[in-house]
Amino acid sequence: MNPMEDKPAGSPIDRKPGGEFNHTAAGPDLGLGSAQTAGAAGSRRSFPNQGESIAAILDVIRRGERFLVCSHSRPDGDAVGSMLATGMLLQQMGKRADLVTADRIPNIYRELPGAEGIRCAMRVHGPYDAVIMLECDSLDRTRLRGLEAFFVVNIDHHSTGREFANLNWIDREGASVGELVYRLAKAAGATVTPEMATCLYTTVLTDTGGFCYGNTQASTFELARELTLAGADPLRIAQEVYFSTASSKLLLLGAALSNLKRDGRLAWLWITHQDMVRSCAAEEDCEGIVNYAICIAGVEAAAFLRELPERTIRLSLRSKGRVDVAAIAARLGGGGHENAAGVTLEGPLHRALDEILVELRPQVAEMAVEPGDGRS
Ligand code: AMP
Ligand code: MN
Ligand code: MN
């Protein structure tokens, strides 16, 4: 189901050649999307409990008509799936939703219902009654420009989540932000269609690393069960996500593994921009490479560094639970979860590697390496 499908011919949505995303029709002025309550600059509200947060968000939705739904740059399964499900929820509530990301949707998520309706743009224009921003800790995290003009609703589940928006609902217990969208949909009395269930199941599957990471709880399986009963097909979704790998990714993995280093409780690996070019790799082919470092027996924390074309370094951090990598990433200007976090650092590669090892080494210094840990 595509939230954009019902747009009439001559829709006000206009994809500009310069990468701008323009919504030119005038909407009702509800005092939400105007400059007076501009983005993070206006009033900021959060509520002490989930019920009030959800009620406040539903109130914003009910009072508005047109919404922009977005998530972080380089969208992952949670970003894509939760955007799509939010678009479907808004559509069921009789609202118009534009789904926009700064970067293209990875191939493995392109089969998700409605994915073809997500637009790629660098800048957004109003008039939206509100922006629903999923799993971002700032407007910058979207890499979309033009958001300052809007009333922003921030829904997040990261441990480093911040109350930067006009309305904030951060639940750090959520296995995925899709889990929060599911609760919102239930509270709104929406029908969780098979299409919505498919998108939401994908958020849970991918953000828990296939029900392996520390955010996997009994309630996560309960959620997966409910979504399966609502029509998500676990086999098909797993095949799309885990068994549809591009061969370029395996070439890239080969390059990364040839740069794999291990020192006691730490392991790291990297790829250069040259490796990317030689493997004909796409951005999304880097997803999951860090797991080959953290999966080593005895390793407690792992880093994957990737040289971007502009020579900055994209860093992915993972932990098995004894090192809080979100705190480290936050110190360096990024964020994430205790067991999975990221940040972009200044290059060159060796400088970024030194910077992260200086942070990681003291974290594992006290951990004795046990017999059998060091097999390498
Ligand atoms: P990644 O290593 O890119 O898969 O990211 C791991 C986790 O950290 C994900 O939950 C990301 O949303 C989060 N994360 C990555 N980069 C940043 C950043 N610059 N700021 C905040 N969170 C981030
Ligand atoms: Mn994400
Ligand atoms: Mn997430």
* pLDDT tens digits along 14-71: 333 334 454 433 333 333 443 333 345 679 999 999 999 999 999 999 999 999 999 9
Ligand 1 centre distance from Cα of residue 336 (Å): 5
Ligand 2 centre distance from Cα of residue 19 (Å): 23
**Within this chain, domains 13-240 and 247-364 share the same CATH topology:** no
What is the residue extent of each domain of the chain? Answer: 13-240, 247-364
Instruction: Supply the pLDDT for residue 5.
Output: 30
Separation between Cα atoms, residue 169 and residue 157, nearest integer Å: 9
Task: Give the mean pLDDT of 217-222.
Answer: 98
Q: Which residues contact 35 (CB under 8 A, 6 or more apart)?
A: 149
Q: Is the pLDDT at 330 greater than 80, yes or no?
A: yes
Rg (CA), the chain: 21
Who wins on pLDDT, 187 or 16?
A: 187
* pLDDT tens digits along 114-159: 999 999 999 999 789 999 999 999 999 999 999 999 999 999 999 9
Q: Which atom of ligand 1 is nearest to the CA of 79?
A: 12
Integer angstrom CA distances of residue 248 from 35, 280, 307:
46, 6, 17
Q: Is the pLDDT at 12 greater than 50, yes or no?
A: no
What fold is seen in the domain 13-240?
inorganic pyrophosphatase (n-terminal core) (3.90.1640)
Query: b/e string for 318-351 if b means 16 or more Cβ within 10 A?
Result: bbbeebbbbbbbbebebbbbbbbbbbebebebee
Instruction: Supply the pLDDT for residue 40.
Output: 55
Instruction: Supply the pLDDT for residue 19.
Output: 47
Ligand 3 centre distance from Cα of residue 26 (Å): 33
The sign of the torsion formed by the CA atoms of 188, 191, 196, 200 equals positive
The residue nearest atom 12 of ligand 1, judged by CA position, is 336
The residue nearest atom 11 of ligand 1, judged by CA position, is 336
Kindly report the pTM of this predicted structure: 0.89
Which residues form the pocket of ligand 1, taking CB atoms under 6 Å from any ligand atom? 72, 137, 141, 158, 160, 316, 334-337, 340-343
CATH code of the region 247-364: 3.10.310.30
Helices (H) and strands (E) in the chain, counts: 11, 16
Instruction: Supply the pLDDT for residue 369.
Output: 65
